[in-house]
């Protein structure tokens, strides 16, 4: 008499797959979740120049010309959202601003 009513029960390793299915799924899902977070991060950074504080030294434009430009006597941002490839330089520009006129929204 067959002690395994289901043909699937006769497959080697079938019980192993059943027990660890959750663990395998967790390992598989984790990178996907990180990827989604990265995508959200890519579209969230905004740079703001406080026009009342900016002294017009031009350092931010030199540091990150992809985001900052001089306009008259002060700097302004030239993009609504900081491109992901410019985020590091944009942070450098914020940290280098001598009067802390730059703020970032993330």
Residues near ligand SF4 (CB under 6 A): 49, 54-60, 74-75, 97, 99, 101-102
Q: Using the minimum distance from each CB to ligand SF4, give the nearer residue, 57 or 81.
A: 57
* Token pair belonging to 56: 């017009």
78 vs 73: CA distance, rounded Å: 15
Residue 47, CB half-sphere, CA atoms under 13 Å: how many? 31
CB of 45 to ligand SF4, least distance (A): 16
14 or 70: CB nearest ligand SF4:
70
Give least dist CB 31 to ligand SF4, A.
38
What are the start-end ranges of the E strands in the chain? 46-49, 68-71, 74-77, 102-105
Q: Which is nearer to ligand SF4, 14 or 58 (CB)?
A: 58
């Amino acid at each position: 008499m067959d002690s395994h009513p289901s043909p699937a029960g006769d497959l080697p390793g079938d019980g192993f797959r059943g027990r660890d299915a959750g663990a395998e799924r967790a390992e598989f899902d984790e990178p996907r979740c990180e990827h989604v977070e990265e995508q959200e991060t890519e579209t969230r950074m905004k740079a703001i120049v406080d026009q009342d504080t900016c002294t017009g030294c031009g350092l931010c434009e030199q540091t990150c010309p992809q985001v900052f430009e001089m306009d008259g006597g002060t700097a302004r941002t030239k993009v609504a959202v900081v491109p992901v490839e410019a985020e590091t330089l944009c942070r450098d520009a914020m940290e280098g601003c001598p009067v802390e006129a730059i703020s970032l929204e993330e």
